[in-house]
């Protein structure tokens, strides 16, 4: 299986209902755009809606960290790119960027996803075919530089007295 490095979802516009009273994209809908970018990746892995229907397995987001860099206005066209940072048998760590089609960065999102057996639901190792696809993406992404914003935490830096 071949994976682009990074993987880029098709460009799309913003739904007018997603705009807030400030006239730009409401923060909640950045997550929708990142989720659509993840859906694009999971389809490539073989883990789209049919995966749930046929195998009763899926992925759940365990943690997400979004950084809002530059606002998106009503007429914006954007693309979500996805880089695989790490994985093991039960987990996938992704880093995504949301960019305006003109190239500037609007937001980033780092997520940790768990592979789930829906009969529990509980975590379980990915089947061999899916793990092989994730491994192929990791191989395609291994030479990408680690994103500067990856691994960031939230906090208010304080100067030390003295």
What are the tens digits of pLDDT across the range 98-141?
Answer: 999 999 999 999 999 999 999 999 999 999 999 999 999 999 99
Report pTM. 0.93
* DSSP per-residue letters across 45-113: HT-SHHHHHHHSEEEEEEEEEEEE-S---TT-EEEEEEEEEEE-SSEEEEEEEEEETTS-EEEEEEEEE
Q: How many CB atoms lie within 10 A of CB 54?
A: 8
Q: What is the pLDDT of residue 53?
A: 94
Torsion of CA 105, 67, 25, 23, to 10 degrees: -90
Q: What is the average pLDDT score of the chain?
A: 95
Q: Which two tokens stand for residue 92?
A: 């996938």
Q: Which domains does the chain have, with CATH numbers?
A: 7-141 (3.10.129.10)
């Amino acid at each position: 299986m071949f994976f682009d490095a990074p993987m880029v979802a098709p460009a799309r516009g913003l739904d007018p209902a997603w705009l807030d009273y400030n006239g730009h994209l409401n923060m909640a809908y950045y997550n929708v755009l990142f989720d659509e970018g993840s859906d694009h990746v999971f389809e490539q892995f073989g883990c789209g809606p049919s995966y749930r229907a046929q195998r009763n397995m899926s992925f759940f987001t365990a943690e997400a960290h979004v950084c809002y860099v530059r606002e998106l206005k009503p007429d914006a066209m954007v693309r979500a790119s996805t880089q695989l940072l790490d994985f093991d048998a039960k987990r996938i760590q992704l880093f995504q960027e949301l960019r305006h089609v003109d190239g500037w960065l609007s937001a980033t999102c780092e997520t940790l996803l768990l592979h789930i057996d829906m009969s529990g639901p509980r975590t379980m190792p990915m089947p061999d075919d899916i793990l092989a696809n994730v491994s192929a993406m990791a191989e395609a992404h291994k030479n990408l530089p680690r994103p500067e914003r990856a691994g960031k935490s939230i906090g208010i830096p304080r100067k030390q007295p003295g």
